[in-house]
Amino acid sequence: MTHRCLAMLLVMAMLGTCLPASAADLVSPKLLPSASALRAVTPNLNAAFDPQAGSSDQPTAPHRHWSKTGKILTIVGAGLIAGGTAAIVHGQKTQVVCSGNTCTDIAWRDTGIGWAAGGAALVIVGVTRHTTD
């Protein structure tokens, strides 16, 4: 296998290992209320079928959903991962400026690794951002 294929497989493996961690809420169980307290607050899901149900004047419980900031962070992170993968696959050094005997090079592999790592971090943070409205 070529270095490009190995680099792409490495990035995909990193992304695959990061996704399960991003699915977790990352909240300590000690900070959550007990199960009995949750049952007392949870509304009756079968209230439409219960003739003894109280009035519907009670406000509904707030719904947790993916925040706008989380969506933006995830999209930016995915773009950085894609750009980093492209830079890793490109893999050549590019001379930008030559002044006298000194030339400035861009090492695309190192740049791509940095972009992909930063993108993975943004995706993890973005996927775990939730809000209640």
Note whether residue 1 is domain-resident: no
User: Is residue 104 in a domain?
Assistant: yes
Give tens-digit pLDDT for 76-88. 999 999 999 999 8
Q: Is 35 helix (H, G, I), strand (E, B) or coil?
A: helix
Residues of the chain with pLDDT under 50: none
What pLDDT does 18 receive?
72
132 part of a folded domain:
yes
- The reply to whether 29 falls in a domain is no
pLDDT for position 133:
60
Query: Looking at residue 39, what is its pLDDT?
Result: 57
In a domain, 108, yes or no: yes
How many folded domains does the chain comprise?
A: 1
* Pairwise CA distance, residues 90 & 111, whole Å: 11
> What is the distance of C-alpha 56 from the center of its chain?
37
Coil vs helix vs strand at 53: coil
Domain assignment present for 52: no
Which two tokens mark 47? 């209230």
